Homo-oligomer: A and B are copies of this chain.
Amino acid sequence: MPLDVYDKIMMLAKRRGFIYPSFEIYGGSAGFYDYGPLGSRLKQNIENLWRNYYLLQDNCVEINTPTITLYEVLKASGHVDEFTDITVDCKKCKQSYKVEEIIEKNISIEDAFNNDKVKCPTCSKNLKDPYPVNLMFSTKIGIEQSRDAFLRPETAQGIFTNFHLLYRYGREKLPFGVIQVGKGYRNEVSPRQGIIRLREFSMAEAEIFFDPKDKTHPNFEIVKDEKLYLFDNEKEMKISLEKSVKTGEINNQALAYYMYLTQKFLMSAGVDPKKFRFRKHASDELAHYAQECWDAELYSERFGWIECVGIADRSAYDLSSHINSSKTDMYAMRKYDKPKIMKVKKIVPKMGVLGPLFKDKAGKIQTILENMKVNDIKKIYVKINDETLEIPKDCYNVVEFEEKQIGEKFIPHVIEPSYGIDRILYCILEHNYDEIKKKGEEYRILKLNAHISPIKVGVLPLVSDSRLIKIAREIDKNLRDAGIATYYDEGGTIGRRYARMDEIGTPFCITIDHDSIENNSVTIRDRDTTKQERKKIENIIKFIRDKISK
């Protein structure tokens, strides 16, 4: 079987220090990869480019929260109950499978299993009894009185659980965005797609909080005529932001704006526009928290269209859940132009009645009653742990107060662009991989954008002459001191050294030759044109800086 592009890229990636299979000396483990010296830089460059869009252009703030997350957080967020894959085990060969990967498309799970249509891909035995498996890695905090915890399935929850503190940091203004870049985890049943389906992956997420009555975006006006590439229900279209919102194709300005930011970021990172589209989630594939979701998909020869970014309207789902579960005030405030005097009904519990009736639960009931919204009260039910209690009328009075209110509380909505950095990185490698023949040999070029390339400049003394080497070393050091990543190489023919740089995507090579001694000049070779320009040594840094800035 001839190698496909995926194989070729992963071989190059391993040989040249981009990506290594993790734990390979112990047989490896599906779903885990290491970033080598070049991969690590490439990843950082992509993440920093992403940060530029969100921190500078969109004025978000960044936080960092632990990967280990308490059970309570993920119970409230719905992940304990909903973050599952339907799985089936083969009783014969002991393999497990994610059902949606082994049943035919356009067939329901019920139909497939009720009619014996599912066979084990390994041993062909009929498979039975699919069941949901939670995909979070679990662990325990502490020893004796340990607490259940999981590795976070997304970075987002660390933002939601701090919302009240972050809202204060942002001076209580909306829209207000918070980002987090870091690890996410998903204990896949049986990952079989290499670096595309990781169990531990790098994410970059932004949670932008909006007043639900106003999902406009301050920058929308500037970009409204730009075009988005949409794919909805098998229909492709190129449509302006403004039109997409007007026609209702995209639900609101905010969603459209972050789709545009995503498109711009991906293009700048080096995605091929012909291998890019936004696909709208059908209602039955929406995550448990999402109201509307668009995926940015990138095309890969082996895997087809891959979901690399999800841009979801999570509405008030998460904050509501955490307010309900933790009883913390995580509301935002919509201020009135001037304070209003409002008539408010409040419940005043009678502890003398409540106490004997509900014993140790009375205190909790008191708190709940005091914070309850009161309109027309018929019966009051209170939920404590999982028990629902009816509170008799003689346990409280309803009293009307006058209260000065400066505004009304509400739960913000969230727009979430969530990026899978590893998948984006792989697709950038694939979209920029080029293979030609040179003197009968395979010649590989990674046409990475200069501002993304792990190494910006190869520094190459033409021959092994100590005078050239001295100059080359000095140029190399000056570039590095200026923060420009270099690769110094004096081994082999100059052609072979250019080839090594082309293969890892280095956009420029500086060659130091005997003229360099005479007149302080060098040649700078451009990877894509292979043209060489003669430049004064003192002008190198400025020349390179201009070329690699973005």
Chain A residues in the interface with B (C-beta under 8 A): 14, 16-17, 20, 22-27, 29, 31-37, 39-41, 43, 56, 61-70, 72-73, 76, 87, 89, 94-96, 133, 137-145, 147, 149, 151, 158, 161-162, 165-166, 169, 171, 178, 183, 185, 187, 189-190, 199-200, 322, 325-326, 328, 330, 480-481, 491
Contact = CB atoms under 8 A, between A and B. Distances in A.
Assembly stoichiometry (copies):
2
A165 B96 CA distance: 32
A145 B36 contact: no
A66 B96 contact: no
Contacts of A178: 37
Contact of A94 (B144, B161, B162, B480): B144
B165 A14 contact: yes
A20 B62 contact: no
A236 to B, nearest CB: 36
Nearest to A22: B66
A165 B20 contact: yes
A481 B549 CA distance: 12
A56 to B, nearest CB: 6
Contacts of A35: 63-65
Contacts of A133: 143
Contacts of A39: 63-64
25 contacts: A17-B61, A17-B166, A17-B169, A22-B65, A23-B73, A24-B161, A25-B322, A25-B330, A26-B76, A26-B161, A26-B326, A31-B141, A34-B65, A36-B166, A39-B64, A40-B61, A40-B63, A68-B137, A68-B199, A89-B143, A95-B145, A96-B142, A96-B143, A151-B151, A171-B491
A292 B183 CA distance: 34
A144 B90 CA distance: 10
Nearest to A44: B62
Contacts of A26: 70, 72-73, 76, 161, 325-326
A528 to B, nearest CB: 25
A314 to B, nearest CB: 18
Contact of A189 (B36, B37, B142, B149): B142
Interface of A is mostly: mixed
Given A35-B63, A166-B37, A70 B29 contact: yes
A34 B66 contact: yes
In the complex, the 5 A-B pairs of residues with the closest C-beta atoms, listed nearest first? A37-B61, A25-B326, A26-B72, A35-B64, A17-B169
Given A72-B26, A95-B144, A171-B491, A63 B89 contact: no
Contact of A37 (B16, B29, B63, B199): B63
B34 A64 contact: yes
Given A143-B133, A166-B36, A67 B326 contact: no
Contacts of A24: 161
Q: Which of A39, A43, A139 has the most CB of B within 10 A?
A: A139
A106 to B, nearest CB: 26
Contacts of A147: 29
A165 B15 CA distance: 8
Nearest to A145: B94
Contacts of A22: 65-66, 158
A143 B87 contact: yes
A141 B325 CA distance: 30
A29 B71 CA distance: 11
A144 B151 CA distance: 19
A160 to B, nearest CB: 9
